[in-house]
């Protein structure tokens, strides 16, 4: 089984996201967290599908392989929300969060993750897209959510696993865990590829 095979790797998650840590732990994988501070900026010509993968690769580019164990396996992931090709990154304050949620209200948006897994021998990247349809939110609902949950560390200013997701998600197409921030089934397939190659 994969969980036995990947014990030969020293797995490093390059992310400060508590959701990614929770999901990777839930997969039964032992890992440590080491993140590089990178500016989350990207070339303007990239498509919505390319941006998260570019950022995931950037998160791994700062590691010096000479300073890592020979059996190191790095996992980088970046997740963004898109509405009609406009990227919704992390809101910096309550006003930005409210503006984002008002724009997403009553519409279907895409949640796109870029996943990059790298060892000294291999580098595999994948892009995973999920779609979420929200009900139309009242201003009171948006205000309550922002005040109670302070969703400033989340793309699109919401967490699907929180109150707003409970009351507002009408439909989902694709991976739920991708929307949380880590496409776990895709990651499992990548790890299987690496472990058996």
Q: Which domain holds residue 55?
A: 2-196
Query: Exposed (0-12), middle (13-18) or buried (19+): which is 133, by Cβ within 10 Å?
Result: middle
CB 96 within 8 A of CB 154: no
pTM: 0.94
Say what percent of the chain tops pLDDT 90.
92
> Is a pLDDT exceeding 90 seen at residue 174?
yes
Count of domains forming the chain = 1
- Residue 41 has a pLDDT of 85
- Residue 122 has a pLDDT of 95
CATH of the domain at 109: 3.90.950.10
171 Cβ contact list (under 8 Å, min separation 6) = 108, 132, 133
> Is a pLDDT exceeding 80 seen at residue 163?
yes
CB-CB neighbours of 135 under 10 Å: 12
Given 30, 37, 78, 143, the catalytic residue:
78
DSSP symbols for 54-68:
HHHHHHHHT--GGGS
- Residue 40 has a pLDDT of 79
Say what percent of the chain tops pLDDT 70.
100
Establish whether 143 is a catalytic residue: no
Of 114, 88, 108, 101, the C-alpha closest to 140 is 101
């Amino acid at each position: 089984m994969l969980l036995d095979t990947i014990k030969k790797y020293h797995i490093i998650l390059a992310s400060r996201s508590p959701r990614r840590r929770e999901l990777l732990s839930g997969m039964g994988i032992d890992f440590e967290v080491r993140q590089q501070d990178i500016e989350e900026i990207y070339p303007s010509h990239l498509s919505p599908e390319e941006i998260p993968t570019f950022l995931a690769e950037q998160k791994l580019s700062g590691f010096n392989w000479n300073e890592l164990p020979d059996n190191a396996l790095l996992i980088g992931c970046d997740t963004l929300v898109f509405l009609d090709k406009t990227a919704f990154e992390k809101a910096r304050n309550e006003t930005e969060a409210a503006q984002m949620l008002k724009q997403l209200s009553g519409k279907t948006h895409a949640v796109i993750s870029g996943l990059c897994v790298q060892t000294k021998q291999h580098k595999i990247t994948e892009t995973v897209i999920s779609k979420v349809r929200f009900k139309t939110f009242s201003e009171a609902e948006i205000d309550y959510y922002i005040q109670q949950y302070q969703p400033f560390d989340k793309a699109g200013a919401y967490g699907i696993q929180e109150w707003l997701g409970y009351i507002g998600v009408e439909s989902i197409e694709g991976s739920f865990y991708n929307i949380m921030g880590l496409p776990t089934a895709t990651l499992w397939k990548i790890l299987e590829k690496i472990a058996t190659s």
